[in-house]
Amino acid sequence: MLDVIDLNIEFHDHLVPETVVHHFNLHMDEGEIVGLVGESGSGKSMTALAVAGLLSRHDMKKTGKILFEGTDLLHCERSRLRALQGNEISIVFQEPMTSLNPVYRVGHQVEEALRIHCPQMTRQERKARAIAALADAELPDPEEVYAAYPHQLSGGMRQRVMIAAAMVCEPKLLIADEPTTALDVTIQAQIVKLLKRINREKRTSILFISHDLSLVRRLCGRVVVMHNGYQVESGPMEAVFDHPKEAYTKKLIAAIPDCRKKTVGKDGRFQKA
Ligand SMILES: Nc1ncnc2c1ncn2[C@@H]1O[C@H](COP(=O)(O)OP(=O)(O)O)[C@@H](O)[C@H]1O
Ligand SMILES: [Mg+2]
């Protein structure tokens, strides 16, 4: 479904060009959840924006290929890209307050992708679809949320609204760039559970980006580790976790609190944490 081949991203807005992503490769099958991890500044968001087709600045050079179902997103027509964005490929960002416009009601914003991609829908059909998407994102009282303004909702609810807006056209690929980083631990766990359910029920492929390896471990089948713009290691979650090859990955894993420690279960036996 998605094949990123030798992606390089360079900034040309300084005297010396700066490469922020080097030789990045990624293959994703339909229905897969892949984690992209690495410290802040390692190039995760740049990679995510490129895959979402949102890096179009002229002072930025991108080489390689991003094949989404055979279409190269780096070299296709603008109109083709626009037809895919929000429709087949959606993105959710870290800070839902800045992604939501404070002056519009939630419903209007959830309907945005429908207005673009399903112009034949009537107002009532759009509303019904948006409320269904809010309900799918497990928002209580979706009709009330539909009529609310973003500031009337909690941070966790706003992130659910963003997920509803991203899912309203039922895309094949959902990119979630640090979707839980601004939220507290309980809400983080709920959002991870929601993403899992979306993946299971709708077969949506998810590229889950996080600096938090323990969250990635709970959600993803495969993981790609990035450091300073380079892909350090990638593979099935278990393999990377249990037998990390690279020193950098070992360091990331060692930094997870209690991750490798054994705990004693109710039956008195050792169990993995
Ligand atoms: N306008 C810019 N010019 C040059 N470098 C930039 C610019 N914006 C971001 N960067 C650099 O790109 C690198 C990757 O950033 P990013 O993808 O946001 O990292 P991450 O999401 O992993 O925290 C960082 O080192 C950042 O400093
Ligand atoms: Mg980032």
Confidence band, pLDDT 50/70/90 cuts, at residue 97 = low
Ligand 1 atom having least distance to the Cα of 49: 17
Q: Of the residues 13, 46, 228, which should be mutated to test ligand 1's pocket, given the most ligand atoms within 8 Å of the CB?
A: 46
Distance CA 111, CA 106 (A): 9
Q: How many residues make up the chain in this entry?
A: 273
Q: How far is the CA of 175 from the centre of ligand 2 (A)?
A: 12
Q: Contacts from 66-71 at CB under 8 Å and sequence distance 24+? A: 66/2, 66/3, 66/4, 66/5, 66/7, 67/2, 67/3, 67/4, 67/5, 68/1, 68/2, 68/173, 69/1, 69/172
Q: What is the 3-state secondary structure (H, E, C) of 214-260?
A: HHHHHHCCEEEEEECCEEEEEEEHHHHHHCCCCHHHHHHHHCCCCCC
User: Residue 273: what pLDDT?
Assistant: 46
Ligand 1 atom having least distance to the Cα of 42: 22
**Number of neighbouring beta carbons within 10 Å of residue 141:** 11
Q: Residues lining ligand 1, judged by CB closer than 6 Å?
A: 11, 13, 18, 20, 38, 40-46
Structure tokens at 70: 């055979």
% of the chain with per-residue pLDDT over 70:
93
Report how far Cα 12 is from the mean position of its chain's Cα atoms. Answer: 26
Distances (CA, A) of 153 to 70, 133, 178: 40, 17, 20
- Looking up tokens 């390689």, which residue turns up? 64
User: Residue 32: what pLDDT?
Assistant: 97
pLDDT digits (tens, 9 = 90+) for 186-215: 999 999 999 999 999 999 999 999 988 889
Distance CA 75, CA 187 (A): 39
Atom 17 (ligand 1): residue with closest C-alpha? 43
Q: Residue 230's beta-bridge partner residues?
A: 22, 227
Distance CA 87, CA 114 (A): 8
Tell me what the pLDDT averaged over the chain comes to. 91
Q: How far is the CA of 94 from the centre of ligand 2 (A)?
A: 8
Instruction: Answer whether 175's CB lies under 8 Å from 52's CB.
Output: yes
User: Residue 262: what pLDDT?
Assistant: 52
Whether the predicted pLDDT of 260 surpasses 70:
no
Q: How far is the CA of 223 from the centre of ligand 2 (A)?
A: 16
Helix-then-strand count for the chain, H and E: 12, 12
Whether the predicted pLDDT of 127 surpasses 90:
yes
Atom 10 (ligand 1): residue with closest C-alpha? 20
Atom 3 (ligand 1): residue with closest C-alpha? 11
Ligand 1 atom having least distance to the Cα of 178: 21
Domain boundaries, the chain: 96-170
Nearest ligand, CA 176:
2
